[in-house]
Each structure stands twice: as structure tokens, then as C-alpha cells.
Amino acid sequence: MNCLVILSHPLAKSLNRHFADLAVAELEAAGHSVTLLDLYKAEFDPRLTLAERRSYYGDGFDASALGAHEQALREAEVIVLVFPTWWFGLPAMLKGWIDRLFAPGIAFDHGSDFGPIRPLLHRLRHVVAITTLGSPWWVDWLVMRRPIRRILKWGVFGACAPKAGFAMLSFYAAEKPQRERVERFGERIRQQLRKIAYGCRND
């Protein structure tokens, strides 16, 4: 399958980079075609352009500034997002990538009279979100109720790729990344991606 691994972290040596490399290696070992998109290394501009915003509700969305990003999203059968959770939200770089790429004519079409949107990411079969958080698990689960998971599963991919399976793996207390915990979490990533290799749904 065509796999798109999207990394959003400013540091070249980070837990996120480690987990992204692990995901790439596991998918390639299973025989999949993998593209690693490092948003910071690519110097992706997360800001919606004037032309994009003006054309958002026009006759055709202006995707001329999106380059290879548009094709990569259209062709992806598997998407793996690797990113830190900052203030219980997506980092600005990844949020901007979603703002610009999940656009009309690419990820969805507007509904008639601005009713429910019509999904367009029909090729997408699996989504895996891998994130690091400084907080302990209970703050994310019990206090915040896993806001990023809800946004990604239901608000983004649920709307644009409703048939895709979704899984989220969260590495908590990331400011104290003991080696044993990192290795255990890495094995969780491998096991999740092996499900994809055998054609299982994520959720």
C-alpha cells in the first residue's frame, strides 16, 4: 500500500523522530511503499494562503501552492501522523497542514446548500496517530477526555475518510522518557502497524 508518514517536530533528534523512523522501517519491512514527510525539514508553510481562502467556496479550490503534498494525500492508503501534543492540541505546523490540505476538491466536496460535506479520501484505509504528551495519562483521559483523538477521528478523518480505521497511540510523561518505556511504546507501534500489514482494521 501507499503509506504516508507525516512528522511534525522541530528537533532533528526527538522522540517523535525516533517513532517516525520506527514506523517507516516497520512499514517498509512489510513491503509497503512509504513516503516520510517531515514538515519542518520541508519548511512547510502552515498558513492558509489568500488564494486558498478566496477559492475555498468558489468554483475550484486553488491548490497551486500545495505541490506534492496534494498528490501524497490523494494517493495515501495509510497515513501515520507523528507529533507532540502541545497544550492539548495539535502543533501549529500539523494543524496548518490539515487546514491547507483537507480542502474542497482534495479531501472533501461541499454539500449542497452547505449541508454535510462529501468525503473524497476513498483510497485511505488506515490512520494511525502517534503522539507524545508531557502530562500523565489520567489528565488526557479523565480531565480533557482525549481532545486530539476526538478531533482527528471524528472531525477530520471521520468526515473525509469515514471508511478508514483509526488508532491513536499516546506516549505520556514524555519529559521522563525512560529507555524501557520508549522500547515498550515502540513495540506497541510495531504491533499496530503489523495489523495493517495483515489487512486488519485499526480500531
Higher pLDDT, 114 or 48: 48
| CATH tag, 2-197 | 3.40.50.360
pLDDT in tens, 12-63: 999 999 999 999 999 999 999 999 999 999 999 999 999 999 999 999 999 9
What grid cell was written down for 50? 489568500
Q: What percent of the chain has pLDDT over 90?
A: 93
Entry field: residues in the chain:
203
Beta strands in 78-138 (DSSP E): 78-84, 108-109, 118-119, 126-132
- The pLDDT, as a whole number, for residue 124 is 98
Q: Where are the domains of the chain?
A: 2-197
Global pTM value: 0.95
- Residue 88, exposed/middle/buried by CB under 10 A (0-12, 13-18, 19+)? middle
- How many beta carbons lie within 10 A of that of residue 46, not counting itself? 16
On the question of pLDDT at 201 being above 50, the answer is no
